[in-house]
Chains A and B, each alone.
Chain A
Amino acid sequence: MIIIRNLAFRMLCIPELIIPPGSAALIGPNGSGKTTLLRILAGILKPENCSVRINGRYPGECRIGYVNEYPDRNMLFPRVFDEVAAPLRFSRIPCGEISRKVELASERAGLSHLTSRRIHTLSGGEKALVALLSATIQTPEVLILDEFDSHLDDRALDSAEQIISASGAASVIRCTQNMDVASRSGTLVALFGGRIQASGSPHEVFSGLSGTCYVPFGWRAER
């Protein structure tokens, strides 16, 4: 359970937000504060005078996987294998075990063909998938994904969903501009102008957004 109280930071003004475990999607216009909120949840930003707890702990005390909206900015190493292995190496896991884990995870994700590639030769979608694999390699408690899906086609998105499912993360929080993806989340949060316009099930939230482009295409057609 994620509980935010009394958050007033930059443009964000959130008296209270409760996100139950499972999958949650954050939607809203460009510049509405989605990335800022995700960075707070990831422990990257630490606003004062507010309460942010993940299962009763501070974000910095949790094992968090984070994929930046600019996948390039997450990359520390020039080779894909090293980038995926980085969280394990930082945890000082034995080299043999690291190799096995990276190879297994890459194979399961269908990305074995990328592990020897140089990062800078990857396409945007491939970078996003590598960033996701690196973020999930160490079984995060919480997986935070900042619009990484904007780099993916539908088939690559299926691969990404498999990586996410296999990650073991109890909570997956993503922001997305793909409302079909958002509609498959257990919890939906609509953030407009730094404020929570609605949160709840996709049905509840999309009902309140009826007539706008934020409603999934298929749902609009049904009406």
Chain B
Amino acid sequence: MKLILDGITVARGEWRCSADGTFLPGIHLVTGRVGSGKTTLARIMAGVLNPLSGQILREGISSCMLCQQFPEYHVTGPTLAKEAESYGIVAEKALDMAGLTGREEEDPFRLSRGELRRFQIACLSLRDWDLIVFDEPFSALDCKEKQKERRRISTLSSRIVIVFTHEQRYLPKTDYLWEMRDGVLSYLGTVPEALPFWETAPVHVRMLLEKGIIPANLTEEDLLEGLCRMQG
């Protein structure tokens, strides 16, 4: 099973973005500056946006899902129960997973953004996907929910999981590191070997690297262990 981006280009006015690469099963982290084209690329990977040129090959991938940056973009149902049903799942399970038990008849737009994000992720999680693309999955979540979510993403490594994020602190255990640089998707390598080459690394990772410490991976525990090493 693999996702191949072959000569993908996107253009919008003077703005250009290009991408080549092969995504194997595992957790892929893609970072880049605001406006670098992360969301555009995520949508192309998920097949909801066509590139200007190039082709996307989904070998052995029979199911695909995009978790969009703004959770409200997913909403199609007038109640949480109807929204869950639109995913083909049992509403009670999604509500329980999201910590919203008993709120079946509530309007999704009455939830806080964090609650809606939790509910959206729960709905996505209750089905199996060969390829799942997360666009800023940690946005709007509180720290406990970010911890839960990054642990859950870490367990999906048998599939192709691509996480686009600028989250600084709560990152999943990552296999492969990618970065948007000057409009080009660059493959940096496996983690932790690729970390020294990561230009948009989170501030705490940068701090460790500047001290010559390479954390074992990117989870909160890995970074804390690195900080402890730094402090001797």
* B146 cross-chain contacts in A, Cβ below 8 A: 177, 213
A122–B12 CA distance with the chains assembled, in angstroms? 10
Closest to A152 in B: B34
**B168 and A123 contact, CB distance less than 8 A:** no
* B31 cross-chain contacts in A, Cβ below 8 A: 153
**A29 and B142 contact, CB distance less than 8 A:** yes
**A124 and B223 contact, CB distance less than 8 A:** no
Interface-side segment among A54-62, A77-85, A86-94, A215-223: A215-223
Closest to B166 in A: A153
Residue from B115, B147, B203, B227 within 8 A of A31 (CB atoms): B115
Q: Contacts A30-B112, A150-B140 hold; do A218 and B204 have CB atoms under 8 A apart?
A: yes
* B151 cross-chain contacts in A, Cβ below 8 A: none
* B227 cross-chain contacts in A, Cβ below 8 A: 221
Residue of A179, A212, A213 with most chain B CB atoms under a 10 A cut-off = A213
**A30 and B34 contact, CB distance less than 8 A:** no
* A9 cross-chain contacts in B, Cβ below 8 A: none
Closest to A149 in B: B139
Residue from B34, B39, B147 within 8 A of A129 (CB atoms): B34
12 A–B contacts, CB within 8 A, in A order? A30-B117, A31-B112, A123-B35, A124-B39, A125-B35, A147-B113, A147-B140, A154-B168, A155-B34, A179-B143, A213-B143, A213-B147
Other A-B pairs beyond A29-B144, A153-B31, 13, CB < 8 Å: A30-B141, A117-B13, A121-B12, A124-B39, A124-B136, A126-B34, A126-B35, A150-B140, A154-B202, A154-B203, A155-B33, A156-B33, A213-B144
Chain B positions near chain A (C-beta within 8 angstroms): 12-13, 31, 33-39, 69-70, 72, 111-115, 117-118, 136, 139-147, 166, 168-169, 200, 202-204, 220, 223-224, 227-228, 231
